[in-house]
C-alpha cells in the first residue's frame, strides 16, 4: 500500500488536514484539493503543526464543490478518494440551498470523477446529521447506522444537506457507479487538536467557552469524537474489504451535556479554562437569544433532547478504538492555548 496516491477533498479543512496527516504517516502519497493556490500555504502550515513536512509526497489540485472544473484532474491516478469537503457554517444560512446544493452536487462531482478515473473506493464524510434528526429519541435505544434523519419533519439546513448528499451518493453508486465502491463515515461533533486559526465550528465552540464568550450554557447534549480518530476510521474504511457499501458512526462514548463538557474542560485544563462558565440558561432565554444570534439559533431545536448513538459497528467490523471524550476535549483546549488562539493567551 505504501506510495499509493489518495485524493483528499477539502485538504485545508480541520478534518481534511487530519486525514492528510494520517495518510502521510501511513506511507501514502496524497493529493489534496483546495479552492485556490492561496490555500496551499495554509495546508502546509497545519501539517507542520501536526508534525509533518511532506515534501514531494503531497501535491495539490484546484477544485470547488460548486463547479465541474478540476475534478477530473484531481482524481486522475488515484486509487482511493476521501471526500471530506462539505460546507458547515457557524450560523443559519439565508437559504437552505446555500448548504444543500454544494453538499449534494459536490459529492456527485467527486463520485463521477472517481468513477471515470478508475478509483477503487471513495470514503464519503457524512455526519450524524444524516442519522439522528427529525425523529424522537427513544431512551435506552441509541441511534445506529440503520437510522436515517427524517426530512419530512422540521430539521436544519445542515441536516438536510448532509442527508441529501449521502443519499445521493448511495443512489449514484448503485445506479451509475460501475466498479466504484463506496463507504461512509458519519461523525458526531469533531474535536481534538486544532492545527491553525481556521479550524471548525465544533472546536470554535470550545474556543468560545474558554474565552468566556458564553455567559451561560444551553440545556442540550451532543456526541464527541477526536479528529485523529475520525481520520483513522477513514483509513480503515478506505482499505478494509468489510467496509464496502457500509456506513460507520464515529463517536466516542455517550453524548455529553454542554454542562458536562464545561466541567470536563475546567477539570482537565485548570487555569486555562477559568473563563468557562457552568451556569445553565433556561430554555426560554436561549430561544430569545436565538432570534438574534445565528449560533444560538442552531441549538434551539435541540434544547432538552437526550439523543445518543453508538460506534460499536466500527469497533466490531474495523477494529476502531477511539480516544475518550475527555481526551478529545482536553486536546482541543490545549491546542487552542498552545497556538495562541485564545484571548487570554494573546
- In SS3 terms, the chain reads as CCCCEEEEECCCCHHHHHHHHHHHHCCCEEEEEECCHHHHHHHHHHHHHCCCCCHHHEEEEECCCCCCCCHHHHHCCCCEEEECCCCCCCCCCCCCHHHHHHHHHHHHHHHHHHHHHCCCEEEEECCHHHCCCCCCCECCECECCCCCCCCCCCCCHHHHHHHHHHHHHHHHHHHHCCCCEEEEEEECEEECCCCCCCCCHHHHHHHHHHCCCCCCECCCEECEEEHHHHHHHHHHHHHCHHHCCCEEEECCCCCEEHHHHHHHHHHHHHHHHCCCCCCECCHHHHHHHHCCCHHHHCCHHHCCCCCCECCHHHHHHHCCCCCCHHHHHHHHHHHHHHCCCCHHHC
Query: What nine digits make up the cell of 314?
Result: 466500527
Query: What nine digits make up the cell of 45?
Result: 502550515
User: Does the active-site annotation cover 154?
Assistant: no
Contacts of 141 by beta carbon, 8 Å cutoff, 6+ apart: none
> Of 38, 154, 162, 344, which is the active-site residue?
162
Report, as residue numbers or ranges, the catalytic residues.
162
Amino acid at each position: 500500500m505504501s506510495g499509493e496516491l489518495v485524493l483528499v477533498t477539502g485538504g485545508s479543512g480541520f478534518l481534511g488536514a487530519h486525514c492528510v496527516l494520517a495518510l502521510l504517516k501511513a506511507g501514502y502519497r496524497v493529493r489534496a484539493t483546495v479552492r485556490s493556490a492561496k490555500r496551499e500555504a495554509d495546508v502546509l502550515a497545519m501539517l507542520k503543526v501536526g508534525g509533518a513536512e511532506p515534501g514531494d509526497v503531497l501535491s495539490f489540485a484546484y477544485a470547488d464543490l460548486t463547479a465541474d472544473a478540476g475534478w477530473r484532474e484531481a482524481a486522475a491516478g488515484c486509487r482511493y478518494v476521501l471526500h471530506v469537503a462539505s460546507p458547515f457554517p457557524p450560523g443559519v444560512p439565508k437559504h437552505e440551498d446555500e448548504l444543500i446544493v454544494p453538499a449534494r452536487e459536490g459529492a456527485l462531482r467527486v463520485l463521477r470523477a472517481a468513477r471515470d478515473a478508475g478509483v477503487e473506493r471513495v470514503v464519503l464524510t457524512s455526519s450524524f446529521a444524516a442519522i439522528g434528526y427529525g425523529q424522537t429519541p427513544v431512551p435506552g435505544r441509541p441511534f445506529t447506522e440503520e437510522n436515517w434523519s427524517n426530512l419530512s419533519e422540521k430539521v436544519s439546513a445542515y441536516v438536510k444537506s448532509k442527508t441529501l448528499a449521502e443519499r445521493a451518493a448511495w443512489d449514484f453508486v448503485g445506479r451509475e457507479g460501475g466498479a466504484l465502491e463506496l463507504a461512509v463515515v458519519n461523525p458526531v461533533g469533531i474535536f481534538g487538536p486544532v492545527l491553525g486559526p481556521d479550524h471548525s465550528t465544533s472546536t470554535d465552540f470550545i474556543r468560545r467557552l474558554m474565552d468566556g464568550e458564553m455567559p451561560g450554557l444551553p440545556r442540550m447534549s451532543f456526541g464527541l469524537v477526536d479528529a485523529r480518530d475520525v481520520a483513522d476510521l477513514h483509513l480503515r474504511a478506505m482499505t478494509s474489504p468489510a467496509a464496502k457499501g457500509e456506513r460507520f458512526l464515529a463517536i466516542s462514548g455517550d453524548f455529553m451535556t454542554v454542562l458536562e463538557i464545561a466541567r470536563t474542560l475546567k477539570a482537565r485544563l485548570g487555569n486555562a479554562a477559568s473563563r468557562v462558565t457552568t451556569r445553565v440558561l433556561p430554555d426560554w432565554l436561549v430561544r430569545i437569544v436565538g432570534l438574534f444570534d445565528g449560533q444560538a439559533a442552531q441549538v434551539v431545536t435541540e434544547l432538552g433532547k437526550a439523543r445518543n448513538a453508538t460506534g460499536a459497528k466500527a469497533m466490531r467490523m474495523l477494529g476502531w478504538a477511539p480516544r475518550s471524550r475527555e481526551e478529545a476535549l482536553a486536546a482541543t483546549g490545549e491546542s487552542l492555548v498552545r497556538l495562541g488562539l485564545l484571548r487570554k493567551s494573546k
